[in-house]
Amino acid sequence: MTGTNLLDLDPAGLQAYFAAMGEKPFRATQVLRWIHQRGASDFEAMTDVAKSLRSKLALSARVEPPQVVGDSVSEDRTRKWLIKVDGANAVESVFIPETRRGTLCVSSQAGCVLDCAFCSTGKQGFNRNLTTAEIIGQLWIARRELGSGSQPGERIVTNVVMMGMGEPLLNLDNVIPALRLMLDDNAYGLSRRRVTVSTSGVVPGMDRLAEECPVALAVSLHASNDALRDQLVPVNRKYPIKELIAACNRYLDRAPRDFITFEYVMLEGVNDADANAHELVALSRRIKCKFNLIPFNPFPNSGFARSSAERIRRFAEILQRADLTVTTRKTRGEAIDAACGQLAGDVADRTRRTRIDIDVPVKEVRA
């Protein structure tokens, strides 16, 4: 298909596209609703759009989501889609149904440059950023595949987390337009509190996100001191914990929530000692935060083991005694390799990883 892919355009971009065609702004709103609320990819289906405009769009534009090439469902109803983004790359997105909400975990890159020690995605190397169409296309596909709720206006996908493959803050030129579509009332209409971006600690990206599109923020902390975090999360060598905490405090000035969520994967004998918990208590005095403890989800040749349930309970207890809010994430989708840290997709070229201790690109990583 040829022409502009309208999935690449956020609401302002779509307005500008229609203005350049000499069309009034309400036409952009009509098409926005058809694409994102009704899941239309055929302009002829847009029956309240003037026939002459539909004909023009058919010649100059397209609505082309990425292609689903795999669809797996686990016993706990977690669903994972393998989504082809080009001839060499596929990414994964995961839907996690719960009693009162449905969360879609979205990828932002094919592979990841950051190479966190315990994450399967990083072991695949980095190939390229996803486009806005490939990011928002994951939500578009989920809405199509899952259908609508049983009640009028009911949402199946109530929350989106940018916690899939890749580091979102190294692809903000494409992530921010996708976020704006998630939030727009004429598209997906999600609240800022229900859209979460997760970062390993790319400080300039945190500042840019706060300025341009603040949503809920989760930080992949995973260590209680710099020496350990340097090993587990290599971006810490460029942006150590002191700088990270300062950036978190700046983010809170604009954030929709009054706290930062710290993600902490529990690795047996590595970061799960009582001493680590006490260091986190000390760190928490510098930032309003909550902790989400994540039992490690194994993958081949990882070199790590999951902390025992008792060890995780004891670790959480130390944090709770310091009046901190602590949750322990329930492992979902492990049987289909859809659990946290297991997403690998299919990255054909594994040769392009940048050594994070040498340089971390700020605005974009481009292949």
Half-sphere exposure of residue 150, counting CA atoms within 13 Å on the CB side?
0
Of the candidates 34, 144, 135, the residue with the CA atom closest to the CA atom of residue 93: 135
| Cα–Cα distance, 143 to 182 (Å, whole number) | 12
Which residue in the list 116, 119, 289, 340 is annotated as catalytic?
340
Dihedral sign of CA atoms 176, 182, 187, 189 in order: negative
Which of 44, 64, 92, 310 is catalytic? The answer is 92
Separation between Cα atoms, residue 344 and residue 321, nearest integer Å: 37
364 belongs to the catalytic site: no
| Residue 308 structure tokens | 């025992």
For residue 134, indicate whether it is catalytic: no
Say which amino acid occupies 184: D
Which residue is it, tokens 């706290």? 259
Nearest to 187 by CA among 35, 49, 63, 45: 35
Cα 234–chain centre separation: 19
Q: Measure the N-to-C terminal CA separation of the chain; round to a whole number of Å.
A: 23
Query: Cα(157)–Cα(147) distance, rounded to whole angstroms?
Result: 10
d(CA 319, CA 227): 21
CA 150 to chain CA mean position, Å? 27
DSSP lists the bridge partners of residue 261 as: 218, 290
Bridge-based pairing of strands 79-84 and 67-73 is: antiparallel
Amino acid sitting at position 72: S
- Closest C-alpha among 186, 164, 177, 251 to residue 34: 186
Give catalytic residue positions.
92, 340
